[in-house]
Amino acid sequence: MHTQSRIPKLHDTTFDGALLWFSEMQCSKLLFHPEDDPADIVHISNGERFFSNVEVEELRFLLNELEEGLGHDKVIGAAYPIFLNACGIQLDA
């Protein structure tokens, strides 16, 4: 049985591509901090893993692609405004 991935496609490894990917993760209610291992993300209500094994491998691969293309600090920098938005905090233009 083949199930469709919930993980958005990463279109490119530029800063804007990372920003778009994190934004799509937020819109899909899948956003997590890129320094966290996706295998460790669990539902608070029951402690069950949030991502399947296949999704974990896909996320690790995509995050590695971003790290190789941008470097660690820029990946975090791309995630930062998306996390602020998810918390209801708007950045000044």
Give tens-digit pLDDT for 20-76: 999 999 999 999 999 999 999 999 999 999 999 999 999 999 999 999 999 999 999
For 42, the 3-state DSSP assignment is strand
Q: How many residues are given for the chain? A: 93
Whole-angstrom Cα distance, residue 10 to residue 14? 10
State how far the alpha carbon of 86 is from the alpha carbons of 23, 46, 50, 71, 79, in Å: 9, 23, 18, 23, 11
Contact 63, 13 (CB under 8 A): no
pLDDT given for residue 2 in this prediction: 56
pTM over 0.85: yes
Higher pLDDT, residue 43 or 5? 43
User: In this structure, which amino acid lies at residue 62?
Assistant: L
